[in-house]
Structure 1
């Protein structure tokens, strides 16, 4: 096959993938990897993190985080590649949480100083789970794959010999934590919308998402870079968007989960 034919084939394959893949909000996505591949990479990355980072052994804290996470994941549609979500609390001052393909959720104890109510913690966990449901890791990895391989997208899409090596290099497995790649503003805003719907269905108060991000703004000390220079929406943009979305959500009949935050 000559060079022009390869380019044409790559364009056709890429266009087909984009046309056949869409996010929960209807946005077109570039998805190159299967659910099973992403689940495997997520599981590998999670196992590495558990070996390298301190896991909290505080029973009350673990029970609290597990309670909130379970309330959220109980309202997630069944997933083909896994049957249960694994939740681990990491003992760290980081104000952070994440979710990985394959049903892996990590919460850092530092987050509990900012997400001060179960509803606020549910905002974060719902947001992170939404990233998984919306295939955002797959999308980011696929974009990286496409940028790094150029003409060889045909080999990738057809399972060519460079598939595994290029994929692992793009993930940074063995050096970084695999599929934990930075999300763009569009993906962050989408996860806010999907996550808010999920937490509301789970019985939490979506209006408290606004309070959470006000707390986040205070915790950042006003040091957040300008919105155009950041991959995340600005705090003000995020708060305004959450207010608008929360106002449109219906009143779900789900009873509020009885998750008790332990005293500090």
Structure 2
């Protein structure tokens, strides 16, 4: 009987691990297997976002608050346009965009699944202008679009199977589904605000975020100067809690410089040149509907806004 129980547990684990869905990341085309559904991850996200806002103090600076919302919504429109025109239209329903600026001096920002974004006031002196803020928000939005949170939770679930199979977690859920284990894993291992993404996730978010900013009509080349300011502020030691588990500043800047030709093709295709207004100044938004000037071209580096040849 004991041997049979172990066999059943092993079979259950194998079956549940095989139930993951394969998801393809926009822009990069990378595929990953996810063990948690969109509904599960979005439910957790809404709960924690509401919990955070109930304890946070929103910024009293009307101009800066308006700027964060304006830049965020501009990015959201560009991202949804891209998703709609590249075969990801079913993903749009997962986003309920919300952008808030909180009165906190930490140099930080985060995005929860579903497009729930928070910017800390301490970040604005480093971004200095709307285009650099778009680089940050594009990076955070990329985490949500690429489903990095679900990917990290899926890794934790697999780790739980590998290290505790037949132990406390499987004992706690018995014969329940992956959704039950996901809740356990979330409670034990997972926090949206403090989630440590892998370096690969961070590099992917840099790549996607740069493209998203360019799609929205923000000059992606400002990313280099922004990261140089971030490096200077942290003394080159990455002491900020933003972009956890990130590559070194030097490697990040070098990678972004290599990506700029690709990003600039999207920027030119957007048909917009957004003014880099100071972070403390309110500016009027430019045209929020980018146009596609390279619609018939092939390859992501010359594909403009609407077509991504990396999606199979």
- Identify the TM-score tier after normalising by the shorter chain: 0.7 to 0.9
1:133 aligns with 2:145: yes
Displacement of 1:158 in angstroms is 6.0
> Counterpart of 1:219?
233
Q: 1:170 aligns with which of 188, 191, 195?
A: 188
5 Å matches for 1:36-75? 36-75=39-78
Q: Of 201, 204, 207, which residue of structure 1 is paired with 2:221?
A: 207
Query: Residue 137 and residue 33 in structure 1: after superposition, are their counterparts in 2 closer, same or farther (change >3 A)?
Result: same
Q: Give 3-state SS (helix, strand or coil) of 2:57's partner.
A: coil
Q: CA RMSD in A?
A: 2.8
Q: CA 1:163–1:235 in 2, change beyond 3 Å: closer, same or farther?
A: same
Match of 1:122 among 114, 119, 134: 134
For each residue in 1:112-171, what CA deviation from the matched residue of structure 2 results, as whole angstroms up to 9, or x when unmatched? 011111111100000000000000011111212222344379869962684365144135
SS of residue paired to 1:123? helix
Instruction: Decide whether the 8 Å contact of 2:236 with 2:249 is kept in 1.
Output: no
Q: Could you tell me the TM-score, scaled by structure 2's length?
A: 0.72
Moved more, 43-52 or 184-193: 43-52
Which of the residues 272, 280, 296 maps onto 1:255?
A: 272
Which stretch shows the higher mean deviation, 251-260 or 64-73?
251-260
Structure 2 residue runs of 5 or longer lacking an equivalent are: 81-88, 283-312
TM-score, normalization: structure 1?
0.85
Q: Which residue of 2 aligns with 1:142?
A: 154
Across the two proteins, how many residue pairs are aligned to each other? 254
Distance 1:35 1:156 in 2: 23
Larger-Rg structure: 2
Instruction: Look up the SS of the partner of 1:98 in the other structure.
Output: strand
Query: Is contact 2:203-2:252 (8 Å) kept?
Result: yes
User: Is the CA contact (8 Å cut-off) linking 2:23 and 2:31 kept in structure 1?
Assistant: yes
1:185 aligns with 2:205: no
Bigger Cα displacement from structure 2, 199-208 vs 47-56:
47-56
Structure-1 separation of matches of 2:113 and 2:179: 24
- Unaligned runs of 5+ residues in structure 1 are none
Report the alpha carbon displacement of residue 9 of structure 1 after superposing the two structures with TM. 4.8
